[in-house]
Amino acid sequence: MRVVIAEDLFLLRDGLTRLLEANGMKVTAAVENGEQLLAAVAADRPDIAVVDVRLPPSFTDEGLRAALAARQANPGLPVLVLSQFVEQLYARELLAGSSGGIGYLLKDRVLDGAQFLDAVRRVAQGGTAMDPEVITRLLTHNSSAGPVSTLSPRERQVLGLMAEGRSNAAIAQQLVITERAVAKHTASIFVRLDLQPSDDDNRRVLAVLAYLNNS
């Protein structure tokens, strides 16, 4: 798996590089600003870009804007965002494309290497990896309109856990219900969101994006 990292702090950038390469991934570029990120992606499209939201020179939204530009130039490019804050507007922009391969993790809530590596792999494969706090903030002002509003409270719970990237088994364990019940809820979610039968993983991603886009 080829990875591009955009992180302005040297120690974190170096630490991420070492962690990823120690686990069989190839870091094709480790850069410190958005312009360098775009150049790195153009030179050799990676399997995933790991991007800090706030990069030089203004440390506001350069990283996210560069990630959005990279996805526009390379549709479907998986992006895993790292941030110290929940940037609601930026997160919505990232989700607006309704394509898979999206993650948003808060730096201080990544508790171990295995958790981070799992998120990288999941996003690179076209899935989602959303921090629960990000989901909570995005849904604080959830719209009452649209098909998402028709979901039952339990279905919204299931979909929220899907957004974190959890499997049916993990969702069942979290909600203390059977996997069969989870499967029924996910099937109902697909119907309510008008997601036609296709690859199950793809439908899960589309359901998550529809859910978060209606926040």
Between CA 51 and CA 53 the distance in angstroms is 6
- Determine the pLDDT at residue 154: 94
Closest to 49 in 3D by CA, of 130, 134, 124, 127? 124
- Determine the pLDDT at residue 149: 79
- Determine the pLDDT at residue 175: 94
Residuewise pLDDT in 10s, the chain (215 residues): 999 999 999 999 999 999 999 999 999 999 999 999 999 999 989 999 999 988 988 787 888 889 889 988 998 899 999 988 877 666 677 776 656 688 989 998 888 899 899 999 999 998 888 888 877 776 655 555 567 778 899 998 898 888 887 889 999 999 999 999 999 999 999 888 888 776 556 678 778 777 776 65
- Determine the pLDDT at residue 90: 65
- Determine the pLDDT at residue 122: 92
Between CA 33 and CA 56 the distance in angstroms is 6
- Determine the pLDDT at residue 190: 87
CB-CB neighbours of 22 under 10 Å: 10
CB-CB neighbours of 212 under 10 Å: 26
H runs (alpha helix) in the chain: 10-22, 34-43, 62-73, 88-95, 113-124, 132-138, 153-163, 168-175, 179-192, 200-213
Between CA 186 and CA 5 the distance in angstroms is 34
Buried b (16+ CB within 10 A) or exposed e, 97-108: bebbbbbbbbee
Buried b (16+ CB within 10 A) or exposed e, 40-52: bbeeeebbbbbbb
The two tokens of residue 48 are: 């995933």
Between CA 142 and CA 49 the distance in angstroms is 28
